[in-house]
Amino acid sequence: LVEEAFQQISLQAHLGALISTVEGAPEQAQLVAKRLRAGVSLPLAGVPVVVKDNLNVKGTRTTCGSRALENYHSPYTATAVQRLIEAGAVVVGKANMDEFAMGSSSENSAFGVVRNPWDHTRVPGGSSGGSAVAVAAGMVPVALGSDTGGSVRQPAAFNGVYGFKPTYGRVSRYGLVAYASSLDQIGPFARSAEDLALLMDVISGPDARDATSLETLPAFRAALTREVRGMKFGLVREALEGGNTPGVRAAVEQICTLLESLGASVAEVGLPTLHYGVAAYYLIATPEASSNLARYDGMVYSHRAAGQTDVNSSMSSSRGAAFGPEVKRRILMGTYALSSGYYDAFYAKAMKVRRLVADDFARAFGHFDALITPTSPFPAFRLGEKTHDPLSMYAADIDTVMVNLAGVPALSIPAGYETLEGRELPVGVQFIAPALGDERLVTIAKAIE
């Protein structure tokens, strides 16, 4: 399996899905075989996996798609990845991504763009575009990404695979390079509900190394056999109010019909703060990012510019040379929103909206078991289409960011295709559950698979 993964990776190198491959993978596979022969039972024995390049894996480079960390070698392994390895999985590659997970198209990487396997002139979504493509193009059956505002779900939708953002705290963030710590969650990509469940049972659960990790034990495989009969689904009105392409609208309608035929009910529900989600998200994510990225000053680690004679010029020229334009924009935006005199108008206001978003969800979950929205208003857009207009790129996150603001779980499932300019492109539908309702999403995915 590991050899085959390497074959596919080299055959499809033109997609730009990986930043590096893991040299020691064949030896790792031999070790797995040895453990199997010794009678150890391993749920993921020999399964090749790819992980986003913001996840530390000892002995690999972890670049976060940035020149700043081009030569950073991880001295330790992230908990989620460690659990995969212990279950017998073999990490074969580190996936390309938007620099520091900032983006929705995987065009912000210092190591080249990622291409959508369905149409090479289109983006794979982002920021976990490389992980999504590795799964969609058949390099590996499963992969890990990170989702701060949609970075697992939206690329999953653009590539026709499953992408899951767990409840905040269900997967340890230890070893995940921080973008916006109060929003970040590691999540899996898979080609079936069953693979997704298998992976979640392995990676989630409490971890003493992440104070925000929850005590809840995973029970995903058990959720595969439950039914959706009797479940109440809320179709989010504001997410259907315009802006969606005909193919996206049709996919949502089809899913609703299917759920009803399985004995579930579907009714509209209002989530009025959806209109403020993107603004609040970017005013919370960028301040956190500006603070988290302060450590990349070229002193302890990250790129250090040559020939500087004092600390300030060393830091500013190192950061100036190492960060790409989107990261710089966000550091400036975040610093501005936090600065004295503007804090109350921007950051504090956004935090109030965050509370209202959570209230909106709480109200909706008083009546419904799960909510339905498109994952994105449109299928994959063209490479370069939005790079000169950051605001339109941000606006594309409308359906996903609320979920992170509220900390609830959401799953994007493949829900059909839309033909654009003669090409069939995948469309995703998003299911959102209340906090700790993660397993329910697997039940739904399996029922409509």
Residue 102 within binding range of ligand GLN, rule CB under 6 A: yes
Per-residue contact string for residues 221-260; x = within reach of ligand GLN by CB under 6 A? ----------------------------------------
Q: Is 339 among the catalytic positions?
A: no
Q: Name the segment binding ligand GLN (CB under 6 A); options: 73-81, 147-155, 254-262, 434-442.
A: 147-155
- Applying CB under 6 A, among 107, 119, 147, 399 the residue interacting with ligand GLN is 147
Q: Which is nearer to ligand GLN, 140 or 178 (CB)?
A: 178
DSSP string, 92-147: EEEE--SGGG--SSS---TT----BTTBTTB---SSSHHHHHHHHTTS-SEEEEEE
Stretch that binds ligand GLN, among 1-9, 146-154, 313-321, 435-443 (CB under 6 A): 146-154
Please, are residues 229 and 210 in contact by the beta-carbon 8 Å criterion?
no
Please state whether the peptide bond connecting residue 127 to the residue before it is cis, i.e. omega within 30 degrees of 0: yes
Q: Is 101 in the site for ligand GLN (CB under 6 A)?
A: yes
Q: Are 328 and 68 in contact (CB under 8 A)?
A: no
Contact status: 207 vs ligand GLN (CB under 6 A): no
**Shortest distance (Å) from residue 373 CB to ligand GLN:** 16
Return d(Cα 342, Cα 228) in angstroms, integer. 48
Among the listed ranges 149-157, 241-249, 304-312, 421-429, the one in contact with ligand GLN (CB under 6 A) is 149-157
Site for ligand GLN contains 166 (CB under 6 A): no
Which residue, among 351, 431, 393, has the nearest Cα to 183 in the 3D structure? 351
Catalytic residue among 151, 302, 314, 412: 151
Whether 151 is catalytic is yes
Q: How many whole angstroms separate alpha carbon 99 and alpha carbon 102?
A: 6
The single residue among 48, 125, 150, 409 that binds ligand GLN, judged by CB under 6 A, is 150
The answer to whether 74 contacts ligand GLN (rule: CB under 6 A) is: no
- Cβ-proximal residues to 203 (8 Å cutoff; 6+ apart), any chain: 80, 83, 84, 144, 171, 186, 188
Task: Give residue number: closest CB to ligand GLN.
Answer: 151
Q: By C-alpha distance, which of 387, 447, 364, 366 is closest to 413?
A: 447
Catalytic residue, chosen from 52, 94, 165, 446, is 52
Binds ligand GLN by CB under 6 A, chosen from 93, 149, 160, 379: 149
Beta carbons of 377 and 246 less than 8 angstroms apart: no
127 given a catalytic annotation = yes
Nearer to ligand GLN, 63 or 151 (CB): 151
305: left (phi over 0), alpha (psi -120 to 50) or beta: beta
Report the alpha-carbon distance of residue 25 to residue 4 in Å, rounded: 12
**Closest alpha carbon to 142 in 26, 20, 5:** 5
426 binds ligand GLN (CB under 6 A): no
Alpha helices, DSSP H only, in 160-245? 193-203, 220-223
Which of 16, 65, 103, 428 binds ligand GLN (CB under 6 A)? It is 103
Q: Which of residues 270-299 bind ligand GLN (CB under 6 A)?
A: 285
CA dist., res. 424 & res. 414, Å (int): 13
Q: Which stretch binds ligand GLN (CB under 6 A): 99-107, 234-242, 298-306, 417-425?
A: 99-107
Choices 98-106, 293-301, 363-371, 424-432; region in contact with ligand GLN by CB under 6 A: 98-106
Beta strands across the sheet bearing 265-269: 18-21, 90-95, 48-52, 142-147, 185-190, 162-165, 410-420, 423-432, 370-374, 232-236, 265-269
Residues tagged active-site: 52, 127, 151
Residues that bind ligand GLN (CB under 6 A): 101-104, 127, 147-151, 179, 285, 397
